[in-house]
Amino acid sequence: MKIAVAGTGYVGLVAGVCFAEVGHEVVCVDIDEAKVKKMKKGISPIFEEGLEELMRKNYKAGRLDYTVDFKAAYRKADAVFIGVGTPEQPDGSANLSHIATVARQIAESVEKDCLVVVKSTVPVGTNDKVEQFIHDFLINDVKVEVASNPEFLAQGSAVKDTLQAARIIIGTESKWAEDILKKIYKPFKLPVVSVSRRSAEMIKYASNDFLALKISYMNDIANLCELVGADIQDVAKGMSFDERIGSKFLNAGIGYGGSCFPKDTKALEYLAKQHGYDLRTVTAAIGVNSVQKTLLFKKASKRLITFSGLKVAVLGLTFKPGTDDLREAPSLDNIPLLLGQGAEIFAFDPVGAGHFAKKFPEGRNGKGSISYVKDPEEALKNANVCFIFTEWDQVKKLRPKDFKKLMRTPLVYDGRNIFGIKDMIKAEVEYHSIGR
């Protein structure tokens, strides 16, 4: 089928590439001409394992293209997928301006019957408005319906999560729309769950917010474990054998980040309030996560008189390994606090340093300074204290004795519980982690 995809971020680009991979004719639309030129050369604007290989493969095969000409892309498309951003606004609601812009472009461009599919995460009821909005601006006498098809990809494994998804959720209001989406997804050979549009929209929020709840719950229990002398990793292991709980998302740490959980929890909380309902569990998860992000900084502040003039090693800047995404990363909360006290930061991240440097340029930043280094060892050399924010493989490969050998003062605050407590004690490293 002929498919157009609006937006070339995590959602749009990955979806478009994977549609091409299973045999559809796909064109991805973006407003940035320089970005489009790079994608035509097989250069991905996002760091995602396996994505560039599939981009080059399908572009060469003629199944995948990129353009800034939305009219040409939408004119004869069988389906147009919307994968643009819905960023969080100050009050927690979702900014739908990009959705509206694309919807109007589609309405003014389509020349044949077309299914518009919203993959972007949007508040429940948004797709009803998108359909009406398109009909308001429709120029040609064609049939256009809107369907919901939320994504459930995780950054760092987005391609795999799309091609090998646990399920495909489609939300439609007609048999015609349902049949088109089932035809599009037939080559994936994956389970399809067909529901109403509003149910599909809610499934996305309910799923993400449940995982956020699970993370915040474990972090809350971890904090209590420290107070009562239990080990959160032992607790998590014991819980994981219960099939009602499962083994995933039980790792305690310094909170969740990224483009989904923080935004989606706040959006669902906002939606509930708009309907006069207090979503207390989600509100609690948001509160726990907010406090958790700077927990290690607060611990270290009690241990040290000041960070002024101290060399601070920071290992990891992105919110998780396998991605260059910094959105809601704990580093964004902790680095300003360290700089504000005059710390001399030496930060390592294999893919996120360039993006981070745009926010915090190398050199003086207020009272402190920041330098970006090529490996963890360089960051640790002669450091007075070390913070671990992301469990990159390069960090996990370090040995306890490396901290003792390289650091001036082997004082480590590990937000990802990478190392064994006994191993660190044996290596004569003062080691602080989460819930242990």
Provide the annotated active-site residues: 260
What is the C-alpha to C-alpha distance for residues 428 and 436, in angstroms, rounded to an integer? 17
The closest of 301, 340, 296, 299 to 314, measured between CA atoms, is 296
Question: Could you tell me if 113 and 143 are in contact, meaning their C-beta atoms sit under 8 angstroms apart?
Answer: yes
> Which two tokens mark 207?
């799923």
Alpha helix segments (H runs only) across 41-164: 51-60, 70-75, 97-107, 126-137, 158-163
What is the C-alpha to C-alpha distance for residues 388 and 402, in angstroms, rounded to an integer? 14
Query: One-letter amino acid identity for 206?
Result: A
Q: Which residues make Cβ contacts (< 8 Å) with residue 211, sequence separation at least 6?
A: 249, 261
φ, ψ of residue 167 in degrees (nearest 5): -165, 160
In a 13 Å sphere around the CA of 324, the CA atoms on its Cβ side amount to: 17
At 81 the three-state DSSP class reads: strand
| CA quadruple 358, 364, 365, 370: dihedral sign | positive
CA angle 13, 14, 20 (to 5 degrees): 90
Residues in the chain, total: 436
Question: Could you tell me if 261 and 211 are in contact, meaning their C-beta atoms sit under 8 angstroms apart?
Answer: yes
Alpha helix segments (H runs only) across 68-123: 70-75, 97-107
What is the C-alpha to C-alpha distance for residues 302 and 306, in angstroms, rounded to an integer? 9
Question: Could you tell me if 86 and 259 are in contact, meaning their C-beta atoms sit under 8 angstroms apart?
Answer: no
CA angle 233, 238, 242 (to 5 degrees): 130
CA 435 to chain centroid, in Å, comes to 25
